[in-house]
Amino acid sequence: MLAILHPNTPLDSDAYRQTLHYLENLPGVSLRVHEVQGSSQRLTEIYLLGDTKSLDKEEIEALPAVERAIRISDDYRILGRHRDDRRQSGFHYNGVDFSQDNLNIFAGLCAVDVPEHVEMMMQALEEHGEVCTRMGAYKPRTNPYSFQGHGKGCLPWVFEKAGKHGIKVVAMEITHESHIEEIDTCLEKLGRPTGVMLQIGTRNTQNFELLKAIGRQSTYPVLLKRGFGITLNESLNAAEYLASEGNANVIFCLRGMKTEAGQPHRNMVDFAHVPAVKRLTRMPVCVDPSHSVGSREASPDGILDVMHATAQGVIAGANMVLVDFHPKPEKALVDGPQALLMNELPAYLEDIRLCHETWKKRQDIYQRLKDSVSE
Ligand code: PEP
Ligand code: MN
């Protein structure tokens, strides 16, 4: 059971104290208090765990600080959608909105290499009004002798350049909890010129200690990649680990599944799961067409497979696109062959906008159908 308190209930009010006192004394029930800071109000949610089957929803709703109570299932308690659950989806971070209704594009370098390339990328994004990017500093690699990313050494100049070009959020994978502090210390030293979304890669989807460490901080939102060899349910539970530790500002990223059956693509593109994740949880959903498709192959219609895959995700309601670009792919240190080129950026952005608008129109079509049936 979940008790949602009236917005902005002061934690030192009598109503709060009485409510908590009552709930704390329910036999066999333990409490977990979760604070949700929205752009205009603070919400306190109290999760009642344990022996809650016999609890009376109306009795909980009658408590002075409680606005409403929801019976929740065990799956994805915090991030999931439950019956009669009208809680909002998404969050606001560093001036950017993330929700299940809007769309943000994170085009950028798979791996940070030299300042000149980072500059070219960010300049192009600024010219097209984009305020988000991806920049890999810590790279998990299959081969221990491959380039592992510049690590904390590149953070100062990457963040400075982001600030200079009006980038508000940089998606950056971390592979160890110590990287959170490296990023935070660097941003603080520079006066926070930009923001960071901590990315958890597909190889770490079930690295539970890393998930817990990232979940314990709420300064930075999180982009969790689906595990490439596990079920969707297992990946969604991994996201719930973050929320259970206190950070529910999570975006779920589809990036393809590892199977021979996906060939000729690097992974089996799984973007039909966009609406499924939105139905099962309140997380905004991201698609990563670069790591799904993994090449610059084009079909006879002249459109690259990466672009087709992007369109499939966005037309199905994806809320974020994470995509590799590079000004000189032949010089890229990681994943050059799948990178899109700078001169492809405007057309790609136009294509994505078209698909996002089409998704909205598709919703209208089915809403009209629903209205006509209920008339
Ligand atoms: C990446 O986005 O750079 C990456 C390594 O992705 P994934 O974890 O999905 O392989
Ligand atoms: Mn990559």
CA of 35 to the centre of ligand 1 (A): 30
User: Beta partners for 36?
Assistant: 43
Q: Is residue 12 domain-shared with residue 44, that is, in the same domain?
A: yes
User: Do 195 and 169 touch, CB atoms closer than 8 A?
Assistant: yes
Q: For residue 4, which of 40, 50, 42, 30 has the smallest C-alpha distance?
A: 42
Q: Is residue 54 domain-shared with residue 103, that is, in the same domain?
A: no
Domain limit, last residue, from 73, 105, 132:
73
pLDDT at 197: 98
- Would you say residue 374 lies in a domain? no
Q: Is residue 290 domain-shared with residue 346, that is, in the same domain?
A: yes
Residue 245 tokens read as: 């530790």
User: Do 225 and 209 touch, CB atoms closer than 8 A?
Assistant: no
Q: How far apart are CA 132 and CA 323, in angstroms?
A: 11
Strand ranges, E, within 204-354: 222-225, 250-254, 285-287, 320-324
Mean pLDDT across 304-320: 98
- Residue to substitute in 200, 235, 255 for testing ligand 1 pocket (most ligand atoms within 8 angstroms of CB): 255
Residue 326 tokens read as: 């590079």
Q: Is residue 147 domain-shared with residue 64, that is, in the same domain?
A: no
Q: How far apart are CA 317 and CA 91, in angstroms?
A: 17
Confidence band, pLDDT 50/70/90 cuts, at residue 107: very high
- Would you say residue 112 lies in a domain? yes
Q: How far apart are CA 83 and CA 42, in angstroms?
A: 23
- Would you say residue 139 lies in a domain? yes
pLDDT at 64: 96
Q: Is residue 173 domain-shared with residue 43, that is, in the same domain?
A: no
Confidence band, pLDDT 50/70/90 cuts, at residue 375: confident
CA of 324 to the centre of ligand 2 (A): 7
Is a pLDDT exceeding 90 seen at residue 40?
no
Residue 41 tokens read as: 């109000």
For the stretch 153-189, pLDDT in tens is 999 999 999 999 999 999 999 999 999 999 999 999 9
- Would you say residue 267 lies in a domain? yes
- Would you say residue 373 lies in a domain? no
Mean pLDDT across 234-239: 98
Q: Is residue 13 domain-shared with residue 40, that is, in the same domain?
A: yes
User: Which residues contact ligand 1 via a Cβ below 6 A?
Assistant: 110, 136, 173, 201-202, 225, 255, 288, 291
Domain containing residue 63: CATH number = 3.30.70
Q: How far apart are CA 113 and CA 10, in angstroms?
A: 48
Q: Is residue 215 domain-shared with residue 323, that is, in the same domain?
A: yes
Lowest mean pLDDT, pick from 48-62, 184-198, 324-338, 349-363: 48-62
pTM for the whole structure: 0.93
Secondary structure of residue 329 in the 3-state scheme = helix
Q: Is residue 188 domain-shared with residue 150, that is, in the same domain?
A: yes
Q: How far apart are CA 245 and CA 248, in angstroms?
A: 9
Confidence band, pLDDT 50/70/90 cuts, at residue 326: very high
Nearest ligand 1 atom to the CA of 253 is 9
Q: State how many domains the chain has.
A: 2
Q: Is residue 62 domain-shared with residue 153, that is, in the same domain?
A: no
Secondary structure of residue 131 in the 3-state scheme = coil
- Would you say residue 78 lies in a domain? no
- Would you say residue 85 lies in a domain? no
Is a pLDDT exceeding 90 seen at residue 39?
no
pLDDT at 184: 98
What residues make up the domain containing 50? Answer: 2-73
